[in-house]
Structure 1
Amino acid sequence: MNQDVEHQDNGKKQVVIVAMSGQMLLNFAGPADVFTTAGNILQSFGITDGYDVMIVSPTSTKKVDTNIGITINCRLSVTDISGPIDTLIIAGNDLREESQPALATFYDWLVTRTEHNTRRIASICGGAFALAKAGILDGRSATTHWERSEKLSKAYPAVKVNTNPFFTNDGHVYTSAGVSSGIDLALAMVEEDYTKDIAIRVARKLVFYLSRPGFQSQFGALLPSYENEHIGQKTQNWLNEHLHEKLDVDQIADHMNMSKRNFTRVFHKQTGMPPAKFVEKLRVEAARKLLEDTDTPIERIAEQCGLGGLVTMRRIFLRHFMTTPSDYRRAFRTSLKAAGMNELLAPKLANTA
């Protein structure tokens, strides 16, 4: 049944979430819970408009396969919707080539959604690729999961990709990073629609930050993985044992049995960065691991990893992660210990030993 005929004008903001196949449930369930919870809170205050949330499939099968083995049976597919939409969210994206022919009708539909018939168009994680394919992101700033940002930038050079924020908006188009960032974006939309107070109430209900601290850069690895025979990996194996030392290119080249000039040229060509930058990133990666897994004082970590003193380490962390070492430790240290669960579980674990 055509959604124009089925949907009655009840004053609610229509939120259409397109659940793409092969994705995590949180991609679409998270934002759906935010808008639904907001509606319930508004209703408790006697405000009856709120949101009308629909999860739809991108294909006529009306079925969505998730990556945890659950198949979602949607009441509608996007082709059933032809009228105005308040908020359209493309949740995730199945990037497998074999899935693209089945999505042809979806993309034909998506290119028809403009600011004239859709107040807000948004994406979660890989959904940015769908918006880019439809030309919706051309000339606009956008973000996606940090692992996919380079791929998005290369595939769609007309898109201004920014990996740092959890979500962005450029005009009526909104994009968000990985999975849980869809919740960040949905909360921001609720605040935009019904004030900060309502958004805070929703965030408290979900035990979530209204404005989550940090940036995506804190989650991504500074260095890629290399094959064993790659010069980057060979260099890294030796450097890991010498990070506490003052290192220069001459020492590293000597270890690799190469001249300084030849080593620098080959290393830059194969890794895409000069040796000095590689060493700094390796030091930072080692320091972040110690911050996550140990109680070692930050001053000592700076020494062990060759990052100098606290001031230097702080400056380097701000440059790479846009946060300080102490704030990074609070956010990423071993979760049970950070939550005080070790002390809680210790007696029980001792009794089972």
Structure 2
Amino acid sequence: MHRIGFLLLDGFQVMALATQSVFEYANMVAGEPFYAIDNYSVEGGPVASSLGMHVETRAAGPRTAVDTWIIVGVGDPVATPTPAAHLDFVRRAAPRARRAASICTGAFVLAEAGLLEGRRATTHWAYARAMQQQHPDIRVEDDRIYIVDGPIWTSAGMTAGFDLALALVEKDLGADAARSLAHKLVMVQRRAGGQSQHSELLDMAPKSDRIQRAIDHARKHLSQPLTVEELAQTVHLSPRQFSRIFTAETGQSPAKAIESLRLEAARLMIEQSRHPLDVVARETGFRDRRHMREAFVRGFGLPPQAVRRAARA
């Protein structure tokens, strides 16, 4: 049996506990109790979550036998220093386990314990810069869902914990079990670790329904030319009015926004499918493979082939 220990600290993000369902359902898929899950704290007893509710925990000691430690983060790791006893325990316990993982800002605990030194890691994008400034010896990648560097796994914020947990199950039980598990959990897609934390649709965040309708139209018809005139017509505005309002609400021109949507769609196809790059370029509205490559280098600093290699790795 594989023992998983969730290490909690006062003020922990309660959503992290929802990822325990991944291991619960993994046992159902496996047809046997493959995982055993427990909540721990350094002193044991009730631990208060960020919502104020308390969770009962077992005391984590030097003889605690755990295969995978999952370090749960707090709401604001910059304003909430990690207690020394908590850090001391992580320093001792993590190397004895098969692997150690963090959800969201739990990466700060691993960093403060010295376990991320010289490694690649990620955390919630809102705190990635602070983590890099505080720990310059870590290669913080703020645009990743989760990262595996040897026995250390780190994930981005909130729902990315589910992706990390699912990846742990895939590592233990295989790809078929992970696919079946994702289906049972009604996860629309299994996101690869190299996938971006950010979404162009979220970043645009238009203020009005009409601009949102135009963006939705563009997203559904990316393989077409998508002129300003066409988008303006869908929301009953003149091209000049549309361009002015679109830029005011999203902070970018319609042309730039469409290229960003094409890039995001192309990146997802490259990461999640085996379609040739010519097909990806055609389906996402680029003139040809060369045009898509130029846009990738401009937008991501990498050509499409490098993105595919990273996703497979």
Whole-angstrom distance in 1 between the partners of 2:37 and 2:98: 15
Distance change in 2, residues 1:40/1:96 (3 Å): same
Distance change in 2, residues 1:77/1:292 (3 Å): farther
Q: Which residue of 2 aligns with 1:51?
A: 35
| Equivalent position to 2:121, from 134, 139, 142 | 142
Equivalent residue runs for 1:309-348 within 5 Å: 312-317=256-261, 322-323=264-265
Deviation at 1:108, TM superposition (A): 0.9
Q: Establish whether residue 27 from structure 1 lines up as the match of residue 11 from structure 2.
A: no
Q: Check conservation: 2:69, 2:94, Cα contact below 8 A.
A: no
| Equivalent position to 1:73, from 48, 52, 56 | 56
Whole-angstrom distance in 2 between the partners of 1:54 and 1:95: 24
TM-score (norm 2): 0.66
Name stretches of at least 5 consecutive residues in structure 1 with no aligned partner. 1-11, 223-284, 328-353
Mean Cα deviation higher: 285-294 or 196-205: 285-294
Q: Check conservation: 2:70, 2:100, Cα contact below 8 A.
A: yes
| Equivalent position to 2:70, from 89, 97, 105 | 89
Q: Check conservation: 2:68, 2:101, Cα contact below 8 A.
A: yes
Whole-angstrom distance in 2 between the partners of 1:23 and 1:97: 14
Distance change in 2, residues 1:96/1:135 (3 Å): closer
Distance change in 2, residues 1:219/1:113 (3 Å): farther
TM-score (norm 1): 0.59
| Equivalent position to 1:189, from 157, 168, 179 | 168
How far does the alpha carbon of each residue in 1:142-167 deviate from its partner, in whole angstroms, 9 at most, with x for none?
A: 10001111111111111101011111
Whole-angstrom distance in 1 between the partners of 2:209 and 2:103: 32
Q: Establish whether residue 171 from structure 1 lines up as the match of residue 150 from structure 2.
A: yes
Distance change in 2, residues 1:13/1:323 (3 Å): same
Q: Which residue of 1 aligns with 2:199?
A: 218
RMSD across aligned positions (CA): 3.3
Q: What secondary structure sits across from 2:55 in the alignment? A: strand
Q: Name the aligned partner's letter for residue 92 of structure 2.
A: T
Equivalent residue runs for 1:114-125 within 5 Å: 114-115=94-95, 117-125=96-104
Larger radius of gyration: 1
Q: Check conservation: 1:21, 1:94, Cα contact below 8 A.
A: no
Whole-angstrom distance in 2 between the partners of 1:96 and 1:130: 9
Whole-angstrom distance in 1 between the partners of 2:258 and 2:166: 31
Q: Check conservation: 1:64, 1:71, Cα contact below 8 A.
A: yes
Q: Establish whether residue 64 from structure 1 lines up as the match of residue 47 from structure 2.
A: yes
- How many residues of Structure 1 are paired with residues of Structure 2 in the alignment? 241
Whole-angstrom distance in 2 between the partners of 1:291 and 1:142: 39
Q: Check conservation: 1:187, 1:210, Cα contact below 8 A.
A: no
Q: Percent identity between the aligned chains? A: 26
Whole-angstrom distance in 1 between the partners of 2:140 and 2:81: 23
